[in-house]
Amino acid sequence: MARSAAVPEPVLVIGAGMVGASVGCALTEAGFTVHLEDAAPAHARVAASLGAGSAEPVDPATVGLVVVAVPPRPLAGVVAAALRRFPTARVTDVGSVKSRPLQELQAAGVDLARYVGSHPMAGSHRAGPVAADPFLFLDRTWVLCEHPDAAPETVRAVEALVRACRARLVRMDPHEHDAAVARVSHLPHLVAGLVAGSLTEVPLEQLALAGQGVRDVTRIAGGDPRLWEQIITMNADVLAGELAALQHRFDRLRTALDEAGDGEAGSLAAWLEEGRAGTRRIPGKHGGAHVEWARLVVEIPDAPNALGRLFTDIGDAGLNVEDITIEHDPTRRVGYLSLDVEAEVRPTVVALLTEAGWTVETAD
Amino acid sequence: MARSAAVPEPVLVIGAGMVGASVGCALTEAGFTVHLEDAAPAHARVAASLGAGSAEPVDPATVGLVVVAVPPRPLAGVVAAALRRFPTARVTDVGSVKSRPLQELQAAGVDLARYVGSHPMAGSHRAGPVAADPFLFLDRTWVLCEHPDAAPETVRAVEALVRACRARLVRMDPHEHDAAVARVSHLPHLVAGLVAGSLTEVPLEQLALAGQGVRDVTRIAGGDPRLWEQIITMNADVLAGELAALQHRFDRLRTALDEAGDGEAGSLAAWLEEGRAGTRRIPGKHGGAHVEWARLVVEIPDAPNALGRLFTDIGDAGLNVEDITIEHDPTRRVGYLSLDVEAEVRPTVVALLTEAGWTVETAD
């Protein structure tokens, strides 16, 4: 049992970008031997210097597990090459789309007993090996996409990888995975691009009125177009269906707006209410069971080191603070810090901070 | 000169919600006498208890300035009533839409010499008088929408109001204002609702894969549908045109996706690149000139009060920190704190924090 639960060593990570380097760091941290390889050798060396493993070559005959962390388009080719180069290794990948690379491998007649795909649901606005983070996957969902030809030993090796990275394993059929990411990741990306693209036509004096809302809606559209073009293209079939459904919802909006202009606001209100209902279906931040978060707002007085003291008190209280927002710059005379805490501990948190001398508001 | 620059007192704020109560707090803080009125008297009393002014009635003959802070639909009626009730007062409002209420007042034959509309571009995820914040408008854009019938004294009174709230005055024609907010606020709200509404049809096991991206894209769709139905309806004519333009961009996406599925990825990449270009046109956070922000990431070691010490050092360095994100919970063993600082001071900041013993990464 103990044997089958271990990650087969040494591990080779191919592609030392943010995700690959983070896998290397997490495995190294967990005590496993990791080698790194990248088409740009400097990336592998930077990742190695950050604790992601060794940039030295590895004996191909000894490799136990290969983790392919390259962009979607070259992915299937790199997986096929890895299966040839490392004749006894198990191979997985961490790509964002799962069906099409599998189809490409199957169409090429590759024996897939030693391969199974996976996808850690963890990202960052940062890119490249310098963004390596051993805790990137901590508590995050990591989807394992089994296929009929995968050997049980291959599946167990990837399960061990997920465990070593301290992620939460979720099993999904490749098609269901691609439907899910189309809806919760790719479609939102495209719609963010829809709004962001429209901003190219807005005069700058009008853009001066932009607030936090449009920034949030468009933020992910700032991602690398070359990478996203590959992701979207690899999942184009699923997305075509999703965009058709979105068109239907868009048509309903335009009809509702026409009616509202004519004094019939009921269908617009209902359309907006559906949106609010949708936001409430998104589960807890780390992909786990939905956790009720409650917001509280602490006044930051104009006193030396007020934020420093507050964080000390927060740490002393042992809080799990999900989300921290500073409403005004800390350099200003007074400000507010918004904290989201688990709803059930909020009364305790308010009591502890109030006792420590802070002015705490709860907005609802 | 000094006389004409002052806010005419006493001020009456009608509508003690988040915005109205914040106006009351800002004016009180600036030394002006403020009274508050709300259809729900308890709201006025809560706002008064938070320093927004007095909930006691005011002698109508003495009122110098009325600030109407009610939802868009009743707005014109409340403004007209205020002009009758307070025969010598100047009247403004803080509504999100400016043309249609003005048209309603003009159509009703109201003498508008003592009225001019305005719109502070400041909001909060919080609502109601408990969210009153004297600094809500600090450095924010406050749009003054003049019309031909407004007396110069009326305009000066509202200019003084904006100054007293420490906002930055921007003058715009009501039509241009409504075009601007349609594009940077109302349209993003509707598109967030488009994605959020589609989530109502996604199975929960697929929603478990949701990350930060879809949360950001859909966040504002969680706003009050009753309020937003009014805002959207009052600006329906402008929005109909914007939605038609968005439909065109959406059609281009669907064509590009079809072509990408057929192996022609060029137009999809170009479409995505337009989105990225749009995100870069959004000016600096407080509506001022575009400021280049640069990100740096500080490692938070597993040591007692590490965050407290870091914020002390940040404060000592006198930093203007725009945006603070904690990548991992402070209760975990190690984490990273992302800071956005003005690009030109980044080298100094990195040097100061490094000297203080922090491990600082710059991701680009």
Give the minimum alpha-carbon distance from A170 to chain B in angstroms, rounded to a whole number. Answer: 9
Nearest by Cα to A118 from A172, A63, A179, A52:
A172
Task: Break chain A down into helix, strand, coil percent, rounded to 5.
Answer: 50, 15, 35
CB atoms B185 and A214 under 8 Å: yes
pLDDT at A328: 46
pLDDT digits (tens, 9 = 90+) for A309-324: 777 777 666 665 655 6
Nearest CA in chain B to A263: B233
Average pLDDT score over residue span B109-134: 87
Interface pTM, i.e. ipTM: 0.79
Q: How far apart are CA A301 and CA B93, in angstroms?
A: 31
CB atoms A197 and B128 under 8 Å: no
pLDDT at B303: 66
Nearest by Cα to B117 from B59, B161, B175, B158:
B158
The answer to whether residue A30 scores a pLDDT higher than 80 is yes
Mutation target to probe the A interface, by most A beta carbons within 10 A, among B97, B143, B145, B218 is B218
Average pLDDT, chain A: 87
pLDDT at A200: 96
pLDDT band at A283 (very low <50, low <70, confident <90, very high): confident
Please enumerate in sequence order all residues whose Cβ is within 8 A of that of B281, keeping only pairs 6 or more positions apart, or say none. A199, A200, A202, A204, A207
Please enumerate in sequence order all residues whose Cβ is within 8 A of that of B79, keeping only pairs 6 or more positions apart, or say none. B68, B91, B93, B101, B105, B110, B115
Please enumerate in sequence order all residues whose Cβ is within 8 A of that of B198, keeping only pairs 6 or more positions apart, or say none. A183, A187, A242, A245, A246, A249, A278
Residues of B in contact with A199 (CB under 8 A): 183-184, 278-279, 281-282
Residues of A in contact with B310 (CB under 8 A): 308, 311
pLDDT at B78: 98
pLDDT digits (tens, 9 = 90+) for A214-236: 999 999 999 889 899 999 999 99
CB atoms A311 and B315 under 8 Å: no
Nearest CA in chain A to B306: A312
Higher pLDDT, A74 or B342: A74
pLDDT at B190: 98
Higher pLDDT, B322 or B336: B336
The answer to whether residue A289 scores a pLDDT higher than 50 is no
Please enumerate in sequence order all residues whose Cβ is within 8 A of that of A316, keeping only pairs 6 or more positions apart, or say none. none
Would you give the distance in Å from CA A131 to the centre of its chain?
Answer: 14
Q: Enumerate long-range contacts of A30-33, CB under 8 Å, 24 or more apart.
A: A30/A164, A30/A165, A30/A166, A32/A7, A32/A164, A33/A9
Residues of A in contact with B332 (CB under 8 A): 135, 138
Residues of A in contact with B277 (CB under 8 A): 196-197, 200
Instruction: Give the rounded percent of residues in chain A with a pLDDT score beyond 90.
Output: 64
Residues of B in contact with A198 (CB under 8 A): 183, 187, 242, 245-246, 249, 278
Cis peptide before A10 (omega within 30 of 0): yes
Residues of A in contact with B21 (CB under 8 A): none
Give the minimum alpha-carbon distance from A61 to chain B in angstroms, rounded to a whole number. Answer: 36
CB atoms A126 and B363 under 8 Å: yes
Residues of A in contact with B303 (CB under 8 A): none
pLDDT at A150: 97
Coil, strand, or helix at residue A111? coil
Average pLDDT score over residue span A75-82: 98
pLDDT at A55: 96
Q: How far apart are CA B248 and CA A36, in angstroms?
A: 45
pLDDT at A82: 98
Average pLDDT score over residue span B233-257: 97
CB atoms B216 and A212 under 8 Å: no
Q: How far apart are CA B46 and CA A286, in angstroms?
A: 37
Residues of A in contact with B192 (CB under 8 A): 213, 217, 275
Domain ranges for chain B: 11-173, 177-281, 293-361
Residues of A in contact with B96 (CB under 8 A): none
The alpha-helical segments, DSSP class H, found in chain A are 18-29, 41-49, 72-85, 99-107, 152-164, 174-181, 187-199, 204-207, 212-218, 225-234, 236-261, 266-281, 306-316, 346-355
Average pLDDT score over residue span A5-9: 88
Average pLDDT score over residue span B121-146: 84
pLDDT at B46: 85
pLDDT at A351: 80
Coil, strand, or helix at residue A144? strand
Give the minimum alpha-carbon distance from A59 to chain B in angstroms, rounded to a whole number. Answer: 32
Give the minimum alpha-carbon distance from B110 to chain A in angstroms, rounded to a whole number. Answer: 23
pLDDT at A288: 43
The answer to whether residue A325 scores a pLDDT higher than 60 is no
CB atoms A281 and B212 under 8 Å: no
Do residues B31 and B164 lie in contact, with contact meaning Cβ atoms separated by under 8 Å? no
Structure tokens at B228: 């937003």
Average pLDDT score over residue span A240-260: 97
For residue A197, give the nearest of B216, B268, B278 by CB distance: B278
CB atoms B278 and A135 under 8 Å: no
Nearest CA in chain B to A233: B260
Average pLDDT, chain B: 87
| Cα A183–Cα A188–Cα A193 angle in degrees, nearest 5 | 145
Amino acid present at A23: V
What one-character DSSP code corresponds to residue A167? Answer: P
pLDDT at A345: 72
For the ranges A273-287, B49-63, B153-167, B183-197, which has the lowest average pLDDT? A273-287
pLDDT band at B279 (very low <50, low <70, confident <90, very high): very high
CB atoms B184 and A273 under 8 Å: no
pLDDT digits (tens, 9 = 90+) for A180-219: 999 999 999 999 999 999 999 999 999 999 988 999 999 9
Query: Of the segments A1-15, A116-130, B145-159, which one has the largest average pLDDT value?
Result: B145-159
Give the minimum alpha-carbon distance from B121 to chain A in angstroms, rounded to a whole number. Answer: 7
Going by their DSSP bridges, the two strands B168-171 and B293-300 should be labelled as unpaired
Task: Write a three-state SS string for chain B.
Answer: CCCCCCCCCCEEEECCCHHHHHHHHHHHHCCCCEEEECCCHHHHHHHHHCCCCECCCCCHHHCCEEEECCCHHHHHHHHHHHHHHCCCCEEEECCCCCHHHHHHHHHCCCCCCCECEEEECCCCCCCCHHHCCCCCCCCCEEEEECCCCCCHHHHHHHHHHHHHCCCEEEECCHHHHHHHHHHHHHHHHHHHHHHHHHHCCCCHHHHCCCCHHHHHHHHHHHCCHHHHHHHHHHCHHHHHHHHHHHHHHHHHHHHHHHHHHCCCCHHHHHHHHHHHHHHHHCCCCCCCCCCCEEEEEEEECCCCCHHHHHHHHHHHCCCCCCEEEECCCCCCCCEEEEEEEEHHHHHHHHHHHHHCCCCEECCC
pLDDT digits (tens, 9 = 90+) for B280-290: 898 864 444 44
**What CATH architecture does domain A177-281 belong to?**
Orthogonal Bundle (1.10)
pLDDT at B334: 54
The answer to whether residue B302 scores a pLDDT higher than 90 is no
Give the minimum alpha-carbon distance from B263 to chain A in angstroms, rounded to a whole number. Answer: 8
For residue B207, give the nearest of A130, A254, A282 by CB distance: A282
Residues of B in contact with A311 (CB under 8 A): 305, 307-308, 310-311, 330
CB atoms B332 and A135 under 8 Å: yes
pLDDT at B90: 98
For residue B218, give the nearest of A258, A278, A332 by CB distance: A278
The answer to whether residue A176 scores a pLDDT higher than 60 is yes
Residues of A in contact with B242 (CB under 8 A): 198
Q: Domain B11-173 sits in which CATH superfamily?
A: NAD(P)-binding Rossmann-like Domain (3.40.50.720)
pLDDT band at B2 (very low <50, low <70, confident <90, very high): very low
Higher pLDDT, A304 or A323: A304
Residues of A in contact with B320 (CB under 8 A): 329, 331
Residues of B in contact with A170 (CB under 8 A): 208-209
pLDDT at B132: 85
Phi, psi angle pair for B316, to nearest 5°: -60, -35
pLDDT at B142: 96
Phi, psi angle pair for A224, to nearest 5°: -60, 110
pLDDT at B98: 97
Do residues B5 and B17 lie in contact, with contact meaning Cβ atoms separated by under 8 Å? no
pLDDT digits (tens, 9 = 90+) for A290-301: 456 667 778 777
The answer to whether residue B1 scores a pLDDT higher than 60 is no
For residue A319, give the nearest of B205, B277, B331 by CB distance: B331
CB atoms B207 and A254 under 8 Å: no
CB atoms B330 and A314 under 8 Å: yes
- Per the listing, tokens 């965050």 go with B307
Q: Domain A293-361 sits in which CATH superfamily?
A: ACT domain (3.30.70.260)
Give the minimum alpha-carbon distance from A60 to chain B in angstroms, rounded to a whole number. Answer: 33
Cis peptide before B10 (omega within 30 of 0): yes
Give the minimum alpha-carbon distance from B87 to chain A in angstroms, rounded to a whole number. Answer: 32
CB atoms B332 and A138 under 8 Å: yes
pLDDT at B354: 84
Average pLDDT score over residue span B15-38: 95
CB neighbour burial string for B45-65, b if at least 16 within 10 angstroms, e if fewer = ebbbebebbbbeebeeeebbb
A and B: number of Cβ contacts within 8 A: 439
The answer to whether residue A353 scores a pLDDT higher than 60 is yes
Instruction: Give the rounded percent of residues in chain B with a pLDDT score beyond 90.
Output: 64
pLDDT at B360: 82
pLDDT at B177: 98
